[in-house]
Amino acid sequence: METLYSQTLFASRYFHPYIERFRPASTVDGVALIFFILVTFGYLTRGQLWEKPDPHYALYFERPQQLDGGFSTTQPSRNIAQRLEEGNYQAVIFWGSQSGTSERFAEAIARECLAHFGLLALVADASDYDAETISLIPKAKFAIFILSTYGEGDPSDNTAGLWEWIKTVKEKNLRLDSLRYIALGLGNSNYKHYNRVVDVVADAFDVAGATPLIPRRKADDAQGGTEEDFLAWKDGMFDLFKMMGYEEQSADYRATMDVTFSVSAAISEENQFGILSHYQQSSTCSAIVPLVVKNSRELFTAGERNCVHMELDLANHPSIHYKTGDHVGVWPVNPEDEIDRLLDALGLQERRCETVIITPSKENTRFKIPSPTTLETVFRHYLEICAPVPRKVLVDLAQFAPDAASKAMVMEIGRDRQRYAQLISNTHITLARLLQIVSPLESWISLPLSFVLECLRPMQPRYYSISSSSVISPRKVAVTALVVNKTAAGPPESIIYGLTSNYILSAGRIPSNSAHRIPRYQHINIAESAGSNKVLAHIRKSKFKLPITCSTPLILVSAGTGLAPFRAFIAERAKLHVVGKPTGRILLFFGCRDAESDFIYKGEIEKAKEGLGDMLEIFTAFSRAGKQKVYVQDRVAEHSGRVLEVLEAGANFYVCGKASMAREVDMRIEEAAKLSKGLSDQEVKAWIDGLKKRGKWKVEVWG
């Protein structure tokens, strides 16, 4: 109170001369003066007479897990050698993945290393550590690299730091004499630069003095052989461990998570409706958001196939933008029939709507399933329950078989590579279908739910080249999707439905042209727009871009839905031409089965031709229109002189479609360049590589 009295006395003395000088001349002035004095008094007494601070205020900001010896909230070290030492790990498994396969393999290897040999290995996202600290890993430990190659020999996004460091290792002749390593590459031999990433990394390590513990191995997905190549590589690595002195032990199943049902845990809206909370927004990818489906239509005019044009509305998401040439990642949901089949096989149909709580068995384990959520949400949104079951899963599954006959059957198929290959070629073997084939009358009630969640792959997005121009349609993203359905050999005959393409067909409410019944999907409906659904999606940046200068000529080569980004390119150039911008010449090469039924966006291309006139030249190839099959690469070879002429004039060259087509196009251009320019094989390769390095030759391919 003494302090308060002294402050009040000080105020009165301080303001007294001013009060005397400005003595109120009226009642209004008097009220104003009193108000001023009260405000001043209130300011000086804040925290003493009123709004006293809570002595326990700081506790609101304490994390309860820090109390009583809980874990520290300090950021983990980015020094991999330090992390290995702190965690007493004997090895690190680096993964570099664009689609999640390398990550899945890395996690599987870590589990099996511990179960079979007691070897503790750290699973490491390559982007979580500073690549230069790899050189600090002591010789007593070793590193395993599982690295994917995608596109035209490109590393995955999360290995950008490793890729740059490898360049430094080569340029500065750095030494890595203490590094012992094992390397597996994942790639597709249909691509020109098959498994380039693992070759570049391993070559750099070898030159720098690192020791490869076993020869590098490459998995080839061209014929779907990635899983078998992985198993063969793993067997060789485990043989190495035995020679290194690790004693193999019986591998009983050890769960990496605890899964329990609860009736009281609250479920967030995101977890209930499948917003993928584990997904990390990055500099190349936007957040996942639900986008309203607009203006869906069928692009094929005849036949039993569907090709869907769908527009996704960005209006409710002002922070998300795209540029012409970018990709949209569509997150599908699993069909209801397959969800029911799996719940039936596990004997969990009655518990589908119960809340599931998933808890890691050890610290720093990351799961791509939210918790809490419901079991049907897990199977609908978060796991690839429609994917084929890897052979390794069959061997592990046998211990939980409901009877001796089922166990013997599963073990026999799992250990016999030829029989397994025959089974999956004849029948679409998902986990649910496998369980029902092996034990058609009895559910697998003894199969731990944790095992199911571990063995199924996490759901991954399917990427589509955006077929709209951000200049013309900045708030709507167009998707062009061919609906893919394959028939397994049988018997019995089995249809393998393309998961995402059929999901898009269903979301767009477009009738199927197929004679077979399409799967049923649950959609996010919107009340404010009758007949519309929402699709979970995100935008991914691409390097498949138009040149900055619109006067630069373009050569566009595509087949089928590879036309999608070129629809956007041509529409944007046509718009710029209409407003008076100088636009460069465009050569469009397009191939499909038939001119009448499969020529997607035919009307739009013809309209653009009317507007651009001679600035747009169109060369088409139809593989089933006549007796002789003609492909787009044949048209490129036929008009190679024109192509080379426009290239010499500074054109940008683009190819979009299947990898096999792109490789054929490369060969035809190389042959033409050798003949017309008189170049050797090495000179032609150097010429094309130069175009690619300068961004003048861009390829976007798949399969």
pLDDT at 6: 47
* Residue 586 located in a structural domain: yes
How far is Cα 28 from Cα 32, in angstroms, rounded to an integer? 6
Predicted pLDDT at 275 = 67
Q: What pLDDT, on a 0 to 100 scale, did the predictor assign at position 520?
A: 93
pLDDT value of position 308? 97
Per-residue pLDDT averaged across 374-395, rounded?
92
Q: How far is residue 115's CA from residue 121's CA, in Å, rounded to a whole number?
A: 11
Do 110 and 187 share a domain, yes or no? Answer: yes
Residues 39 and 137 in one domain: no
Out of 11-15, 116-120, 214-218, pick the least confident: 11-15
User: What CATH number does residue 671 fall under?
Assistant: 3.40.50.80
Same structural domain for residues 35 and 89?
no
Q: Write down the pLDDT at residue 364.
A: 55
In a domain, 617, yes or no: yes
**pLDDT tens digits along 220-258:** 988 778 999 999 999 999 999 999 999 988 777 888 889
- Is the backbone of residue 295 left (phi > 0), alpha (psi -120 to 50) or beta? left
**Cα 449 to Cα 11: distance, rounded to the nearest angstrom:** 73
* pLDDT over threshold 90, residue 369: no
Pair (31, 84) in one structural domain:
no
Q: Which domain holds residue 188?
A: 80-243
Supply the DSSP string of 297-359, one letter for each residue.
Answer: EE---SSS--EEEEEEE-TT-TT----TT-EEEE-----HHHHHHHHHHHT-GGGTTSEEEEE
Average pLDDT over residues 371-396: 91
pLDDT band at 57 (very low <50, low <70, confident <90, very high): very low
Does residue 16 sit in the same domain as residue 85? no
Could you report the per-residue pLDDT of 278-325, keeping only the tens digit for each?
666 778 899 999 999 999 999 998 888 999 999 999 999 999 999 999
Considering the domain architecture, whether residues 634 and 568 belong to the same structural domain is answered as: yes
* End-of-domain residue from the set 186, 212, 243: 243
Same domain, 237 and 108: yes
Indicate if 695 and 589 belong to the same structural domain: yes
The domain total for the chain is 3
Half-sphere exposure of 277 (CA within 13 A, CB side): 16
321 domain-assigned: no
Residue 504 lies in a domain: no
How far, in Å, CA of 694 to CA of 697, rounded? 8
- What does the pLDDT look like over 546-580, one tens digit per residue? 999 999 999 999 999 999 999 999 999 999 999 99
What Cα–Cα distance (Å) separates residue 237 from each residue in 107, 204, 217, 291, 297? 15, 21, 11, 45, 51
Asked whether the predicted pLDDT for residue 473 surpasses 60, the reply is: yes
Residue 495 clears pLDDT 80, i.e. is over it: yes
Q: Is the peptide bond before 565 cis (omega within 30 degrees of 0)?
A: no
- pLDDT attached to residue 272: 65
State whether 137 and 6 are in the same domain.
no
Strands (E), 135-278: 142-150, 154-155, 180-187, 211-212, 217-220, 257-262
pLDDT at 361: 75
pLDDT at position 63, please? Answer: 37
CA angle 454, 455, 458 (to 5 degrees): 75
**Crossing angle for the helix pair 226-243 and 101-117, to the nearest 10 degrees:** 30
User: Which residue has 């600035």 as its token pair?
Assistant: 615
Domain limit, last residue, from 192, 213, 243: 243
254 located within any domain: no
Domain boundary among 243, 275, 304: 243
Note the pLDDT of residue 30: 65
pLDDT band for position 191 (cuts 50, 70, 90): confident
Q: What is the mean pLDDT of the chain?
A: 86
Amino acid at 317: H
The mean pLDDT of 175-199, rounded to a whole number, is 93
Whether residues 604 and 658 fall in one domain: yes
Is position 39 within any domain?
yes
Q: Give the model's confidence band at 366: pLDDT under 50 very low, under 70 low, under 90 confident, else very high.
A: low
Is there a single domain that holds both residue 40 and residue 125? no
Instruction: Quote the DSSP letter at residue 156.
Output: P
CA pair distance 325, 546, nearest whole angstrom: 7
- The verdict on residue 104 lying in a domain is yes
Same domain, 18 and 108: no
What's the chain's length in residues?
703
59 pLDDT exceeds 50?
no
| 3-state class (DSSP) for residue 131 | helix
Is 400 inside any structural domain?
no
Residue 513: name the closest of 293, 299, 310, 296 by CA: 299
Once rounded to an integer, what is the mean pLDDT over residues 468-488? Answer: 94
Decide which of 193 and 554 is more confident.
Answer: 554
Contact 385, 334 (CB under 8 A): yes
* pLDDT bucket at 341, cuts 50 / 70 / 90: very high
Question: Is 90 exceeded by the pLDDT of residue 85?
Answer: yes
pLDDT at 562: 96
